[in-house]
Amino acid sequence: MPHRLSGFILMMGQGHQALLVLLSVLLFAVGILPLEVQRRIVNGATQGATLTTILVLVVTYLALALSEGCIKLVLNIYRGWIGEVAIRWLRMKVIDVKEHHPDDLTTLAEGVEMSIVLAEAEPVGAFVGTSLSEPILQAGILLAVGSYMIYLQPLLALAVIAVFVPQSVLVPILQGLINQRVKTKITVMRHLSEEMVDHTSPKSPQHQAARVQRLFSTNMSIYKLKYALNFLMNLMFQLGFAGIFALGGYYVITGKIEIGTVVAFIAGLNKVSDPWGALVDWYRDLRVTQVKYELIRDASTPDSRQPSVALQTLGQPT
Domain spans, the chain: 5-315
Residues 197-246 pLDDT 10s: 665 655 667 777 888 888 888 889 888 888 888 888 888 878 888 888 88
CA distance 135 to 190: 31
Asked whether residue 248 carries a pLDDT value surpassing 90, the answer given is no
Among residues 147, 152, 118, 126, the alpha carbon closest in space to that of 38 is found at: 152
Contact (Cβ atoms closer than 8 angstroms) between residue 145 and residue 274: no
Triad 195, 190, 287: Cα angle to 5°: 170
Asked whether residue 13 carries a pLDDT value surpassing 90, the answer given is no
Beta-carbon-side half-sphere exposure of residue 61 (alpha carbons within 13 Å):
15
Q: Please report the DSSP string for 177-239 in residue order.
A: HHHHHHHHHHHHHHHHHHHHH--SS---HHHHHHHHHHHHHHHHHHHHHHHHHHHHHHHHHHH
Specify the length of the chain in residues: 318
CATH 1.20.1560.10 corresponds to the domain 5-315: yes
CA distance 131 to 283: 10
Residues 139-189 pLDDT 10s: 888 888 888 878 878 877 877 777 778 888 888 888 888 888 888 888 888
The pLDDT of residue 197 is 64
Amino acid sitting at position 112: V
Quote the mean pLDDT of the chain. Answer: 79
Query: Is pLDDT larger for residue 22 or for residue 142?
Result: 22
Contact (Cβ atoms closer than 8 angstroms) between residue 271 and residue 265: no
Q: Is 1 helix (H, G, I), strand (E, B) or coil?
A: coil
Asked whether residue 6 carries a pLDDT value surpassing 60, the answer given is yes
As a whole-number percent, the residues of the chain with pLDDT over 90 amount to: 9
The pLDDT of residue 99 is 62
The pLDDT of residue 47 is 82
Contact (Cβ atoms closer than 8 angstroms) between residue 188 and residue 316: no
CA distance 286 to 265: 31
Q: Compute the average pLDDT of residues 43-59.
A: 86
User: Which DSSP symbol is given to 104?
Assistant: G
CA distance 198 to 193: 9
CA distance 169 to 158: 18
Q: Compute the average pLDDT of residues 300-312.
A: 47
CA distance 36 to 23: 22
Residues 266-280 pLDDT 10s: 877 777 777 888 888
Q: Please report the DSSP string for 233-292 in residue order.
A: HHHHHHHHHHHHHHHHHHHHHTTSS-HHHHHHHHHHHHHHHHHHHHHHHHHHHHHHHHHH
